[in-house]
Chains A and B, each alone.
Chain A
Amino acid sequence: MMKINKKVEQHSSPIISELLNKITPAEKKRISIKMQLAAKIDDLISQRGFTKSGFAGKLGKNPSEISKWLSGTHNFTLDTLVEISDAFDISILDLFLSPPIRTVNKIHFVVISEKRPQDIVYDTPNISSFSNTPVKAKKGKYSVLTPF
């Protein structure tokens, strides 16, 4: 699903924008849900360790039908969705839910600061001596992060 999102984000052109503008909001929503559902089924197939043909066999379907489902254009019937959710042993509603936000790491630590001077000491040298003259960066390898 992430790869699909990434590809969608990367592709844009005036022609695509023009075509997208012709689509009604209701149609956009329908397409979005279909694509998300297809991506969810694709994720579930790989998460459960199925191959597409193995999954097709489990449902008694032709592998080409599974490919059509995963294309994001298929209009699923309720019966098919029940079959799919049964095959994954999940609720039919789970097919429409986004993956939860997961906690991946927790750290606890204690830091002790001792003998900190109580008076504020301004040790920065004379600020007025700083000029706005640009300083040429030294040669070297710099990693560039995307600016906020």
Chain B
Amino acid sequence: MSATDNKEIDAQLQLTAIELLKGSINLPSIPDQSFTDFVFNINLESRVDQMKMLVYIITDVEIKSADQTLTLGSLTSSCIFKILNFADIVTITKEGLVDLPQQLLDILNSISISTTRGLMFSTFKGTFLHNAFLPIIIPKKLSEQPPRDKP
């Protein structure tokens, strides 16, 4: 993280939409099987529409059994944010590439994960995945991880 990333950013944000893109549940046909431990495979993708000053955070969660052999369910959501002061916050490079401040990305990722946690709870409540709610994730930890794919 560069020195400029440590500066407090003053982003004027608006959550314009929450979309449930995909949801699935798969009860394995194993008798008397109860699930108390879960593994969550999470993918977060950020997309920017500079014309509309929008940032889309697509959160994809795959719920697996503790031994990771069974996929028990999945949910994909999209949180759409409008950055009202887009030109002040987001930098467009000479090559036309979008540079989103890490601090802002952490905030948006955090909101999206929390929103997805709520969507998961309301989608899976009353099912065998009732207790499979996402644990607390510290956004700072996310930015410390190297990205899997470079866009």
Contact = CB atoms under 8 A, between A and B. Distances in A.
**Interface footprint category on B:** 35 or more
Interface stretch (A44-52, A69-77, A132-140): A44-52
A2 B50 contact: yes
A47 B95 CA distance: 6
B43 A106 contact: yes
A107 B113 CA distance: 12
A101 interface: yes
Interface stretch (A20-28, A56-64, A115-123): A115-123
Interface of B: 12-16, 34, 36-51, 53, 56, 66, 84-87, 92, 94-100, 105, 109, 130-132, 134-135, 137, 142, 145, 147-149, 151
A142 interface: no
A109 interface: yes
Interface band, chain A: 20 to 34
A107 B94 contact: no
A78 interface: no
A128 interface: no
Contact of B38 (A5, A116, A145): A116
Nearest to A105: B46
A101 B50 CA distance: 7
A21 to B, nearest CB: 25
A148 B130 contact: no
Q: Select the residue from A3, A112, A113 with max chain B CB neighbours within 10 A.
A: A113
A112 B146 CA distance: 19
B4 to A, nearest CB: 17
Contacts of A1: 50-51
B49 A107 contact: no
A2 B92 CA distance: 10
A16 interface: no
25 contacts: A2-B92, A6-B85, A43-B96, A47-B92, A99-B50, A101-B48, A102-B47, A103-B151, A104-B48, A104-B151, A105-B45, A105-B105, A105-B151, A106-B149, A107-B42, A107-B147, A108-B42, A111-B135, A112-B66, A113-B37, A113-B40, A145-B12, A145-B13, A145-B14, A148-B15
Interface in A75-102: 98-99, 101-102
A114 interface: yes
A4 B12 CA distance: 18
A103 B13 contact: no
A148 B49 contact: no
